Amino acid sequence: MAIESSAGISRRALLGAFAATAVTAAPTFSKAAGVLRNAGDIRRIRMYSARTGERIDMIYWVDGVYIKDAVTEVAHFMRDWRTDSVSKMDTRTIDILAASHNLLDVSEPYLLLSGYRTQQTNQMLRSKSRNVARNSLHMKGQAADVRLSSRSVNQMARAASSCNAGGVGRYSGSNFVHMDCGPIRQWGA
């Protein structure tokens, strides 16, 4: 069943129209914060999960409008894989991930380590590591932990920090960066 947009175009048709040009049409953000102020014509997120074996390469925003079905698919991809629980992902976090990825100028998708987490998963992780926050934004669908093999933790963190849009945590020992849409702050080494 195709879902129609307000313009009468199905999501499948819209994504098909952009699929051939997605690589060349993807915006380059000279000012990363611009992505959060409706810069560019499309926004695209590329990730894979080693835990589930899934990949996503999704245009989720076109000309100032989030594509509801695409955002829903991104949320499903970023689910708590331990419990298979899905929660709405905050589009600000998706925007920060996409803007940072564009700034890094890579075609490699992010490796998603953690997106949404249930309270039970968060408690389990807290019992194993002092680096897991009690009230983690992961439980609100407002954070993601990602890795790129072609970029260092410091490079990724600098790109995310330049968005000036949320929290950025460097976890060099574990080779990943935490990005969230909460208060602007930085931590880690």
Sequence length of the chain is 189
User: Rounded to an integer, what is the distance from CA 97 to the centroid of its chain?
Assistant: 4
| Backbone phi, psi, residue 185, to 5° | -165, 165
DSSP 20: T
Residue 138 covered by a domain: yes
Residue 6 covered by a domain: no
pLDDT in tens, 19-66: 433 333 333 333 343 544 545 689 999 999 999 999 999 999 999 999
Give the Cα separation of 16 and 38 in Å (integer).
22
Answer yes or no: are the C-beta atoms of 18 and 43 closer than 8 Å.
Answer: no
Domain that holds residue 98: 11-188
pLDDT(14) > 90: no
- Residue 110 burial by Cβ neighbours in a 10 Å radius (0-12, 13-18, 19+): buried
CA distances from 17 to 20, 60, 98, 131, 152 (A): 7, 13, 20, 43, 34
Q: Given this model, what pLDDT does residue 17 score?
A: 38
What CATH number is attached to the domain comprising 80?
A: 3.30.1380.10
Residue 35 covered by a domain: yes
Give the Cα separation of 7 and 113 in Å (integer).
36
10 versus 132: which is more confidently predicted?
A: 132
Residue 106 covered by a domain: yes
* Whole-structure pTM value: 0.78
**Residue 2, token pair as written in the block:** 């195709």
Residue 85 covered by a domain: yes
Residue 1 covered by a domain: no
Residue 28 covered by a domain: yes
Identify each DSSP E strand in the chain by its residue range: 42-48, 55-62, 65-66, 110-114, 143-147, 167-171, 176-180, 185-188
Q: Given this model, what pLDDT does residue 34 score?
A: 53
Residue 84 covered by a domain: yes
**Residue in 148, 144, 157 with CA at minimum distance from that of residue 187:** 157
Please tell me the total count of domains within the chain.
Answer: 1
Average pLDDT of the chain, as a whole number? 82
